[in-house]
């Protein structure tokens, strides 16, 4: 896979000398703090030119160096949870120059990718998968008799997901598998402040002397009467629990170490070296700071979490511009306006307050705002429970993350026909986050669910009115809208319902009828001016306006369906079914996202690549007409 690269700027000699972790391991331990400074400075400069995730990566510099220094990567497997904390990992594993093309068209990914490097042992961009994957790798090594280690690095936020605890539960039951879980604690108040005592205890508890003595003592105590053994065991756990917060992880069957300062290489290196020699499930708790080493990011790690290009000397300018409203802003404004007139409204997010446009709501209506953490399944069933008691839940969720709660949507919401509203952000192609985050499938996987109504707004005002309509509907609803801004249409303050299941003709023409679902109305209108075609704003992916489809079929030669969704199982497929059911013999050209995973890049570049921009749509229609003539 070719990567976009640019000549690297001159850097200090240590970082320049490293093309792989093998080079890193040639350094003296005393040189590593200097390397960390150089690496951190490189990260700040690089991300300021490309955009990307900054705060999280600044927080894992020392941890990344220590892991590659102590473990024999890639033979030892490191799985990075979520994956947006892996920029230092990419730099140290031979991709320093390629960082100039990070998240750009034909450049390297912002997440680990197996096809990109042997050091990227598992693709991670959705959270809470690392422990499961690393456990599988550790167990594979055991089954093959290989002496390798598997390490899962998971952030504190990702520990809120049920999948992480499912994996911990399973891992603790496989006591002879060499798995190390590292909890990168950088935001939640899990632990007391770290210090000399904690550092000393961590070294002591990870050392061979302590673990050897513990094993011998256990064997001795097992020969004593059961009440004595149980008392001794409880005493040990109580003593450890008084000085460290690891009792819960010990209950899962892990040997808990920590917490230690994740920026202190003098603590990290010996602790990891000790842990590398231990058998069975190990759990290391490290405390890090998002934005470490860059004062602006330390002061506001959320602002610097995901950034566009910026001047790293001046920092990010947050002044309001006069551009178009984004769909996310339209949703956030509607949510507050609706809450003001209906006290039954409650809003739920699985840890995406900023991304989903809920900051204002969280401040104005804190008693009706629920951030449930990275727990999409729980978010939907929690909403279902609220709906059972007369509340009107609005779950704000990205299309790509809704995939994780599919059973809950079917079983807990749709089957019971509960009025839970899904505000689905990032429907369609999202840009730089790439294949793991594109909302490419939601129409396909939602349209087959009974009782569910799917709204596809084509502009900002229609989005506001559809949110209102969906909220008023007595049943499960989903309003899907894209990342970024719409057509530049100012939403009306007044809210009014739209007729469910009814589209509208936006332009009348001849021969061709373009049936646009949501975001592709703009390019459809552009193409229609060239072809003198009819354009229908279909508005709903379910139920589709059957009468309008049949009417257009009777008055045109070719129907063209347009959707920013997978072509397989999408809205176009339902249009074809309607026509077949009615016995209509008419040519239908279905245009949507192709049957492949689409890489990262600028949204406009990607739309051109999949030929869903005006030029691509026109090309397909003209080719279809020639074939049909």
Residue with tokens 């599988």, as numbered in its chain = 136
Whether the link from the prior residue into 261 is cis, omega within 30° of 0, is no
Q: Per the structure block, which two tokens stand in for 272? A: 């990891």
| Cβ–Cβ under 8 Å, residues 562 and 520 | yes
Pairing of strands 453-455, 255-261: unpaired
Q: Is 234 a catalytic residue?
A: no
| Cβ–Cβ under 8 Å, residues 414 and 452 | yes
Residue in 139, 376, 563, 564 annotated catalytic: 376
Q: Is 404 a catalytic residue?
A: yes
Residue in 77, 404, 464, 483 annotated catalytic: 404
In terms of Cα–Cα distance, which of 527, 532, 535 is closest to 615? 527
Cα distances (angstroms) measured from residue 462 to each of 329, 481, 488, 519, 526: 14, 10, 12, 11, 19
In terms of Cα–Cα distance, which of 264, 303, 287, 286 is closest to 55? 303
| Cβ–Cβ under 8 Å, residues 506 and 541 | no
Q: What is the DSSP string of 373-424?
A: -S-HHHHHHHHHHHHHTT-EEEEEEEHHHHGGGHHIIIIIIITTT--PEEEE
- 497-530 b/e with 16+ CB inside 10 Å = b? ebebbebeebbebeebbbbbbbbbbbbbbebbee
Measured in residues, the chain has a length of 629
Q: Is 376 a catalytic residue?
A: yes
CA–CA separation, 143 and 281 (whole Å): 16
Residue in 96, 113, 290, 368 annotated catalytic: 290
Strands (E), 103-245: 150-155, 179-185
The residues annotated as belonging to the active site are 290, 376, 404
């Amino acid at each position: 896979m070719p990567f976009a690269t640019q000549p690297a700027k001159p850097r200090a000699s240590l970082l320049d000398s490293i093309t792989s972790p093998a080079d890193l391991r040639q350094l003296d331990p005393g040189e590593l703090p200097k390397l960390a400074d150089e690496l951190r400075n490189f990260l700040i400069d690089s991300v300021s030119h490309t955009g990307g995730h900054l705060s999280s990566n600044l927080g894992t510099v020392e941890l990344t160096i220590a892991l590659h220094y102590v473990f024999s990567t890639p033979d030892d497997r490191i799985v990075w949870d979520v994956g947006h904390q892996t920029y230092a990992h990419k730099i140290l594993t031979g991709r320093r120059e390629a960082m100039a093309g990070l998240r750009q068209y034909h450049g390297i990914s912002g997440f680990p990718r197996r096809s990109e490097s042997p050091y990227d042992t598992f693709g991670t961009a959705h959270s809470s998968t690392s422990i499961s994957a690393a456990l599988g790798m550790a167990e594979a090594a055991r089954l093959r008799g290989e002496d390798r280690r598997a390490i899962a690095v998971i952030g504190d936020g990702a520990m809120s997901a049920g999948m992480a605890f499912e994996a911990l539960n399973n891992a603790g039951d496989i006591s002879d598998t060499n798995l190390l879980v590292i909890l990168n604690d950088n935001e939640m108040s899990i632990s007391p402040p770290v210090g000399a005592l904690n550092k000393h205890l961590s070294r002591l508890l990870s050392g061979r002397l302590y673990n050897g003595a513990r094993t011998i003592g256990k064997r001795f105590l097992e020969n004593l009467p059961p009440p004595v053994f149980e008392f001794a065991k409880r005493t040990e756990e109580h003593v450890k629990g008084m000085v460290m917060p690891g009792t819960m992880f010990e209950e899962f069957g892990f040997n808990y170490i920590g917490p230690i300062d994740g920026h202190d290489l003098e603590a990290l290196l010996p602790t990891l070296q000790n842990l590398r020699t231990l058998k069975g499930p190990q759990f290391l708790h490290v405390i890090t700071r998002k934005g470490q080493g860059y004062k602006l990011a330390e002061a506001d790690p959320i602002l610097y979490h995901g950034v566009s290009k910026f001047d790293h000397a001046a920092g990010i300018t947050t002044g309001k511009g006069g551009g178009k409203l984004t769909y996310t802003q339209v949703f956030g404004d509607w949510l507050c306006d609706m809450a003001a007139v209906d006290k039954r409204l409650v809003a739920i997010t699985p840890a995406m307050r900023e991304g989903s446009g809920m900051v204002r709501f969280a401040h104005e209506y804190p008693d009706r705002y629920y951030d449930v953490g990275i727990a999409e399944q729980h978010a939907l069933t929690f909403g279902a429970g609220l709906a059972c008691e007369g509340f009107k839940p609005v779950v704000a969720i990205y299309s790509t993350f809704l995939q994780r709660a599919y059973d809950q949507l079917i079983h807990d919401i749709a089957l019971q026909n509960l009025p839970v509203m899904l505000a689905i952000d990032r429907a369609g192609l999202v840009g730089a986050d790439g294949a793991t985050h594109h909302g490419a499938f939601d129409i396909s996987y939602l349209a087959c669910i009974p009782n569910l109504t799917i709204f596809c707004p084509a502009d900002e005002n229609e989005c506001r009115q559809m949110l209102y309509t969906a909220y008023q509907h007595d049943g499960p609803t989903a309003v899907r809208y894209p990342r970024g801004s719409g057509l530049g249409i100012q939403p009306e303050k007044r809210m009014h319902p739209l007729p469910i299941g009814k589209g509208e003709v936006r332009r009348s023409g001849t021969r061709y009828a373009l049936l646009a679902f949501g975001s592709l109305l703009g390019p459809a209108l552009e193409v229609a001016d060239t072809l003198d075609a009819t354009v229908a704003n279909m508005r709903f992916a379910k139920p589709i306006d059957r009468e309008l489809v049949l009417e257009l079929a009777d008055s045109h030669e070719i129907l063209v369906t347009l959707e920013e969704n997978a072509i397989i199982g999408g809205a176009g497929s339902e249009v074809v079914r309607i026509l077949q059911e009615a016995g209509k013999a008419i040519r239908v050209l279905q245009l949507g996202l192709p049957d492949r995973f689409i890489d990262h890049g600028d949204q406009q570049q990607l739309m051109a690549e999949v030929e869903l921009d005006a030029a691509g749509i026109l090309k397909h229609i003209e080719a279809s007409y020639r074939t049909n003539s």
